[in-house]
Amino acid sequence: MLNLSKNRIDRIVEQEKLYSLRAIKTPRAGIIIARFFMVVLFIFIIMLFMPWQQNIRGTGKVTPFNPGNRPQTVETAIAGRIQKWHVQEGQYVEKGDTIITLSEIREKYFDPLLLVRLKQQIDAKEQGLVAKRDKANALNRQIDALKLAMKNKIDQAKAKLDAEQIRFENLKNQYDRNKALYDAGNIPLTKFQEIEYKYRGAQADFVNAQIELDRVQAEYLDKISKAESDRNQTHAEIFETEAELAKLRNEYANMQIRNQQYQIIAPQDGIVVKAMKAGIGETIKEGDAVCMIMPAAEVGNDIAAEMYIRAMDVPLVSKGRKVRIIFDGWPALQFSGWPSVSVGTFGGVVRVIDMVNTRPGEFRLLVVPDSTDTPWPKQLRVGSGIKGWVMLDDVPIWYEIWRQLNGFPPSLYEEPLDEVIEKKSPAKKTEENVY
C-alpha cells in the first residue's frame, strides 16, 4: 500500500480486525532489523577506510640478552664415578664451589702414588740426560785431542820424509857420479856396489817415509771417525731422552690437571636448577652434563624476548622496529592493528636479527625492553612464553583484509630511521651490527 489517497482505509476500518490487511503489513521488527543492518553496513564501510597498523606476529620465550647470563650446563672433563653430591637443586652456589666429587674408573690411574712415580721417572731421565751430555762433551774433547795428535804426528812424519828425501837425493847424485866413474873404469866394482847399496837403501827409506805419513794420517782419521760416530750416537740418545723426558713431563702435568678434575666446580655464581645425573656411584663419561645452573645476574637488568617469525616476513623487519609483547601469566587484551588501545601489553625494540634460520622456515629476533614504554615485569622468569607483534606501517583496513585473504606479506613503505642513518654513515658501527 502506497497510501497516496486522502481517503485512507486504515482510518475507516481498523487493520487489526481484518486478516488480509494484517497479512500485507510490514512487521515492525523487520523494519528495526533492516535499519540496524543498514547502520552496521554504513559503519563497516567507514571502518574499511580507517587506518590499520600492519604487524608481523611471532612467538618465543624470555631469555637473557647477554649469552653469559643464560642457563648453562655444567659438564665433566673426565670420565668417573659420582662419589658425593655437595649441592641440592635450588641451592645457590658461588663460583668455585664444589658440586660433585668423582672417583677414578680407569685402571691406568688407580695408583694413588702415580704422580710420585712419574716424578721419579722424570728425575731418572734428567740424570741420564746429564750423563749423556757429559759423555758427549768428553767425546768432543777426545776428538779435539786426536786431531791435535794427528797434526803433530803428521808434522813429524813430514819432517822425516823431508829428511829422507834430502838423503835420497844426495845419495842419488853420488850414485850418478860414481856410476860415470865406474863406467870410465876409474873406480873398482866393490866401491861402486857399496855406493849403489846406500843409494837403494835411501830410496827404500824415502818410500817408507811416504808410507808412514799415509799410515799415520789414516790411523788418526779412523780414530777420529770412531769418536765422532760415538758422539753422534750419544747426541741421538740425548735427543731420544729429551723426547721421553718431554713426554713424561706432559704426562705429569696432565695428571696434575686430572687430579683437579675430580672436583666438578661451579663456573659462576648461580642457582642449581636441575641435576642431570642422580645417585651415588653412577658412572659418567667425558663431556656428560651433570647439572644446570642459572646465573645469578638479575633478570630485570639483562632481559630480552627471543621471538621467531616466518622467513617471508624477515625482509620487512629491521633493527629498531617497535614490538608489542604479551607475557604468559600477565592478562592482556591486544588489538594488533591499534596498539594504542591495547591493554596489558609491553613495548620492545628489535635489537638482533639472525642472519640464518634458527628453525625450519623461521628466523629468530631478540627484542629488548623499550625504554620509552612501560617497564617489563620484574617477576619474569627465563623461559616464560611470549607472543609478540612487530609493528610496521599504517594501511587502510580494506587493504589489510585484501592482503590477508590473498596471503601476501605486509607492505613496507618507508625505511626505518636506523637503516637510513646506517646508509648515510656506513663507517659507523656499533655492537648491534655484529648480527
The tens digit of pLDDT for each residue in 258-298 reads 888 899 999 888 899 888 887 788 899 988 999 999 887 65
SS3 call for 295? strand
Rg, C-alpha atoms of the chain? 54
Least confident of 105-119, 157-171, 298-312, 323-337: 323-337
d(CA 342, CA 330): 13
Closest CA to 49 of 390, 406, 341, 394: 394
The whole-angstrom separation of Cα 80 and Cα 205 is: 86
| pLDDT at 431 > cutoff 50 | no
Indicate the range of 12-16, 129-133, 255-259, 373-377 predicted with least confidence.
12-16
3-state secondary structure 85-127: ECCCCCCEECCCCEEEEEECCCHHHCCCCHHHHHHHHHHHHHH
**Mean pLDDT of all residues in 109-117:** 89
pLDDT in the model for residue 5:
59
Q: What's at 231, amino acid-wise? A: R
Measured between alpha carbons, how far is 187 from 280 in angstroms, rounded to an integer? 123
Cα distance from N-terminal residue to C-terminal residue, the chain: 76
Instruction: Name residues whose C-beta falls within 8 Å of residue 372's C-beta, 6 or more positions apart in sequence.
Output: 347
Burial 143-154 (b: 16+ CB within 10 A, else e): beebeeebeebe
Q: Do residues 132 and 210 make contact, with C-beta atoms less than 8 angstroms apart?
A: no
- 8-22, 189-203, 318-332, 366-380, range with the lowest pLDDT: 8-22
Mention every residue, 6+ apart, whose C-beta is less than 8 A from residue 175: 195, 196, 198, 199
Sign of torsion over alpha carbons 130, 136, 139, 140: negative
Q: What percent of the chain has pLDDT over 70?
A: 79
The CATH class, in words, for 54-66+297-434 is mainly beta
Reading the block at residue 59, the C-alpha cell is: 612467538
Class of domain 114-257: mainly alpha
Strands (E) located in 227-278: 263-265, 270-275
Sheet with strand 98-103: strands edge to edge: 263-265, 98-103, 80-85, 283-284
Q: Where are the beta strands (DSSP E) in 219-297?
A: 263-265, 270-275, 283-284, 289-295
- DSSP element (H, E) containing 388: strand 385-396
- Least confident piece of the model among 82-91, 93-102, 298-307, 377-386: 298-307
Beta bridge partners of 350: 367
Confidence check: pLDDT of 13 > 80: no
In contact, 216 and 157? CB cutoff 8 Å: yes
Q: Report which residue type is found at 144.
A: D
Model confidence at 182: pLDDT above 90: no
Query: Which pLDDT belongs to residue 142?
Result: 93
Look at 108-112, 189-193, 378-382, 401-405 and tell me which has the smallest mean pLDDT: 401-405
CA 412 to CA 224: how far, in whole Å? 91
Tell me what the mean pLDDT of segment 6-28 comes to.
58
pLDDT exceeds 70 at position 191: yes
The pLDDT of residue 19: 56
Lowest-confidence region among 37-51, 73-87, 102-116, 226-240? 37-51
Q: Where are the domains of the chain?
A: 1-48, 54-66+297-434, 69-104+262-295, 114-257
CATH class entry, domain 69-104+262-295: mainly beta
Grid cell locating 209: 817415509
Write down the pLDDT at residue 433: 43
CB 214 within 8 A of CB 136: no
pLDDT one-digit tens code per residue, 339-348 = 554 667 888 9
| Cβ contact 363:357 at 8 Å | yes
- 407 pLDDT band, cuts 50/70/90, is low
Bridge partners for 92 per DSSP: 271
Q: Which whole-number Å values give the CA distances from 219 to 146, 154, 216, in the listed order?
A: 10, 11, 5
Q: Which amino acid is at 425?
A: S
Q: Which residues pair with 326 in a beta bridge?
A: 387
Backbone angles phi, psi at 120, to 5 degrees: -65, -40
Closest CA to 75 of 317, 277, 303, 373: 277
pTM attached to this predicted model: 0.59
The percentage of residues in the chain with a pLDDT greater than 90, rounded to a whole number, is 30
Is residue 273 within 8 A of residue 293, CB to CB? The reply is: yes
pLDDT of residue 381: 84
Give residue-wise pLDDT tens across range 148-157. Answer: 999 998 898 8
